[in-house]
Amino acid sequence: MAVIPSCKSHKRSAKRKAKTEQTSPRHATSETSQDKAIQAKYAAMMNVNEKDITNLNLYRFVDQWEGTPYKYGGTTPNGVDCSGFVCALYSDVYHKPIPRTTSEIEGSTKNISRSGLKEGDIVIFDINGKKNAHVGVYLLNGHFVHASSSKGVIVSELSNPYYNKAFNRGGRF
């Protein structure tokens, strides 16, 4: 597992804990007012139509984990690193076990170009000259979700100069 510079742990806030406890079950399939709010939130964030947010299990998962603090080696909502987050997402949303480290994930996926990325694909980054140092999951319209070493679990844009420069490749299982 690669170490990302400036990694630091954060205490989970009471607000984050309350949000997690109030969230509907991850595998619910009926659309609720909470689901409509999640669709609206992520559609606005990614500048897409609410109708484009079709994989509600994915966006429920992202919403539940958003704000989880970064913790090197972490795999839980109390603290998670980038590959731990991706493993948890794939297990919960896609019911697929995947390798634990970014390098193993990279080696287990089919190479996908940036222009060929689809929702649920892996995005892999080389950080500060270190190959396969960071991993996330592609969402829509140039956005991906990941566990940032400085901000915890967040949605970011591939066009951000930092991620644009560091982008290595996409991957698909």
- The residues assigned a catalytic role are 82, 134, 146
Instruction: Return the DSSP state at 114.
Output: G
Phi-psi region of 132 (alpha: psi -120 to 50; beta: other; left: phi over 0): left
> What is the distance of C-alpha 11 from the center of its chain?
20
Number of residues in the chain: 173
Residues sharing a CB contact under 8 Å with residue 100, sequence separation 6 or more, in sequence order: 1, 83, 84, 87
User: Residue 169: which H helix or E strand, with range?
Assistant: strand 167-172
